[in-house]
Homo-oligomer: A and B are copies of this chain.
Amino acid sequence: MVTYSQEVDDDLVFKALADPTRRLLLDALFERDGRSLSELEAVVAARSEMTRFGVSKHLRLLEAAGLVVTRKQGRVKLHHLNPVPIRLLHDRWIDKYTERRVTALTELKRQLEDNS
């Protein structure tokens, strides 16, 4: 596959976001931060049938991308969501001027959906 210069670390972020299970994990951490592998494993298990190894592998990719940061506490490893890479992703294609228009649009969309 082709990879362009200065794209190496970005690539990890986008690749990490490309998988539905990994997005589910980010959703879980967005809802409540600082969960252990076992907890996250349970979240995933509620939706699909995946072993602990699968979840662990996904978390490793999220961590390598900087989307999740971890700290060890005894024998448990706590996971936290890091929003910075997502904001940078956003800023790559949405500048300050476009942002206002787009924000207005997405809020309109949300209101319309709420009223349905």
Contacts and interface: CB of A to CB of B under 8 A. Distances in A.
Give the copy number.
Answer: 2
Interface residues of A, number: 41
A7 B7 CA distance: 26
Secondary structure of the A contact surface, majority rule:
helix
A20 interface: yes
A21 interface: yes
Contacts of A87: 90, 94, 99, 102-103, 105-106
Contact of A94 (B27, B83, B102): B83
Contact of A106 (B1, B2, B91): B91
B86 A94 contact: yes
A17 B14 contact: yes
